């Protein structure tokens, strides 16, 4: 088992990564001070419920916890205010009180949704993340929780840190290949913004990662979570540094919105967005290698680098204007000036972004 700490003073918390950790959930919860007197709500989705809910609930019940669960439909559409409200109803009916804990068992959608429930129920109760996807190594660390608004993603939310993150590598073994690749998108991102050596490691271990080799996967998640934790510790509320975690997200979020949250998985949209950022970087003077390495490593882990041609450029630009990173009239872009290093550029012109979006539709796809 690997262990990391997100350093946030009194609100510091551990991330555990290893095989078979669901079996240890009871003792790890107790160690973290999760109380047993108040009812606990596990939030999960249909697909994850089928595979892991009975197990987690049984382990926690055996440890003495009063467990209720709520199962939401799988997919991004559950990150809505109406599903949020139904979970509030469930929490009330189950008698959750101010000392209760909400547990998110699932991927990023479940984590974001259950996290906002935990942040808002009675103005905030405890929260535990049990991620079951690779992608969620990103969203489960750092306390950003939210639901979507029909006009923009993640616009209704809070900063609400979990008490612990419990990452059981066994839950990743049943992920479909497309989701494995999509999940690796944020792993690669953490390398691109912070650690050139780790980008090279991802390139070298792409096949093992795609084959879900536990040792490689454990290391990749440990490194990815490590970058995330380091950044969040320095800037919890995204005043400045934390923005670098948004590499690829300005374009990526717009693509997801325009494609309807279904055609492109989050990781795929971010992959295309990171290629866009690399292309922007080169245009602003970064070495060509930033673009070629970015494209190569993303391609090797099975991710798209070209923007689907039928997505309308005007609609993409419009969606971008609603982004939280559109600040006081200028556009904020995270620009990779070298592999393993990014800068925050707050004055990228709309015209240049439009040009990049157009070019992304022609992006050469490598073998």
Let me know if 242 is a catalytic residue: yes
DSSP-based three-state secondary structure for 309: coil
9 forms part of the interface with a copy of itself (CB under 8 A): no
- Taking residues 49 to 88 in sequence order and writing x for each that binds a copy of itself by CB under 8 A, - otherwise, the string is --------------------------------x--xx--x
The CA-atom distances, in angstroms, between 174 and each of 40, 108, 134, 180 are 27, 16, 11, 10
Q: How far is the CB of 106 from a copy of itself (least distance, A)?
A: 21
Q: Which is nearer to a copy of itself, 85 or 197 (CB)?
A: 85
- The CA distance from 271 to 261, in Å, is 15
User: Binding residue for a copy of itself (CB under 8 A) from 9, 33, 151, 176?
Assistant: 151
Per the residue annotation, which of 179, 186, 236, 268 is the catalytic one? 186
329 forms part of the interface with a copy of itself (CB under 8 A): yes
- The CA distance from 100 to 89, in Å, is 15
Per the residue annotation, which of 163, 238, 256, 268 is the catalytic one? 238
Q: Which residue has the tokens 């539709």?
A: 361
159 forms part of the interface with a copy of itself (CB under 8 A): yes
- The CA distance from 199 to 188, in Å, is 6
Let me know if 354 is a catalytic residue: no
101 forms part of the interface with a copy of itself (CB under 8 A): no
Hey, how many other C-beta atoms are within 10 angstroms of the C-beta on 54? 11
User: Binding residue for a copy of itself (CB under 8 A) from 74, 78, 101, 120?
Assistant: 120
- 260-319 residues in contact with a copy of itself (CB under 8 A) are none
Stretch that binds a copy of itself, among 45-53, 57-65, 96-104, 244-252 (CB under 8 A): 96-104
Let me know if 268 is a catalytic residue: no
The β-bridge relationship of strands 67-72 and 40-45 is: parallel
- The CA distance from 280 to 357, in Å, is 10
- The CA distance from 347 to 360, in Å, is 21
Hey, how many other C-beta atoms are within 10 angstroms of the C-beta on 279? 21
Let me know if 137 is a catalytic residue: no
The β-bridge relationship of strands 101-106 and 40-45 is: parallel
Stretch that binds a copy of itself, among 246-254, 265-273, 279-287, 325-333 (CB under 8 A): 325-333
- The CA distance from 158 to 118, in Å, is 10
Work out the end-to-end distance of the chain between its first and last CA atoms, rounded to an integer number of angstroms: 36
144 forms part of the interface with a copy of itself (CB under 8 A): yes
Let me know if 186 is a catalytic residue: yes
Q: Which is nearer to a copy of itself, 252 or 302 (CB)?
A: 252
User: Binding residue for a copy of itself (CB under 8 A) from 123, 176, 364, 367?
Assistant: 123
- The CA distance from 251 to 277, in Å, is 8
Hey, how many other C-beta atoms are within 10 angstroms of the C-beta on 363? 17
Residues that bind a copy of itself (CB under 8 A): 37-38, 81, 84-85, 88-89, 92-93, 97-99, 119-124, 144, 146, 149-152, 155-159, 237-238, 322, 324, 326-329
Catalytic residue numbers? Answer: 123, 144, 186, 228, 238, 242, 246, 249, 253, 266
């Amino acid at each position: 088992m690997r262990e990391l700490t997100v350093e946030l003073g009194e609100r510091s918390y551990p991330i555990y990564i290893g095989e078979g950790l669901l079996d240890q959930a009871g003792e790890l919860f107790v160690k973290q001070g999760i109380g047993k007197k108040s009812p606990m709500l596990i939030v999960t989705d249909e697909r994850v419920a089928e595979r892991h809910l009975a197990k987690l609930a049984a382990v926690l019940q055996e440890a003495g916890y009063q467990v209720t669960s709520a199962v939401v439909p799988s997919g991004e559409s559950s990150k809505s205010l109406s599903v949020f409200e139904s979970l509030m109803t469930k929490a009330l009916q189950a008698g959750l009180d101010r000392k209760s804990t909400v547990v998110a068992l699932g991927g990023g959608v479940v984590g974001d949704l259950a996290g906002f429930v935990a942040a808002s129920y009675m103005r905030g109760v405890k929260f535990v993340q049990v991620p079951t996807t690779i992608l969620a190594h990103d969203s489960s660390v750092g306390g950003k929780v939210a639901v979507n608004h029909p006009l923009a993603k993640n616009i209704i939310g809070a900063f609400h840190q979990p008490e612990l993150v419990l990452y059981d590598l066994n839950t990743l073994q049943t992920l479909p290949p497309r989701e494995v690749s999509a999940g690796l998108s944020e792993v690669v991102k953490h390398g691109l913004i912070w650690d050139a050596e780790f980008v090279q490691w991802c390139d070298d271990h792409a096949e093992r990662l795609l084959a879900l080799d536990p040792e490689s996967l454990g290391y990749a998640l440990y490194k990815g979570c490590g970058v995330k934790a380091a950044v969040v510790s320095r800037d919890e509320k995204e005043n400045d540094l934390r923005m670098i975690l948004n590499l690829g997200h300005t374009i990526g979020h717009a693509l997801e919105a325009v494609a309807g949250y279904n055609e492109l998985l989050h990781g795929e949209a971010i992959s295309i967005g990171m290629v866009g950022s690399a292309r922007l970087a080169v245009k602003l003077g970064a070495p060509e290698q930033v673009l070629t390495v970015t494209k190569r490593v993303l391609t090797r882990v099975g991710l798209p680098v070209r923007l689907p041609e039928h997505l309308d450029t005007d609609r993409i630009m419009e969606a971008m204007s609603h982004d939280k990173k559109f600040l006081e009239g200028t556009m904020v872009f995270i620009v990779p000036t070298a592999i393993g290093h990014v800068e925050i550029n707050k004055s990228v012109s709309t015209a240049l972004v439009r040009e990049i979006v157009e070019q992304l539709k022609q992006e050469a796809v490598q073998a």
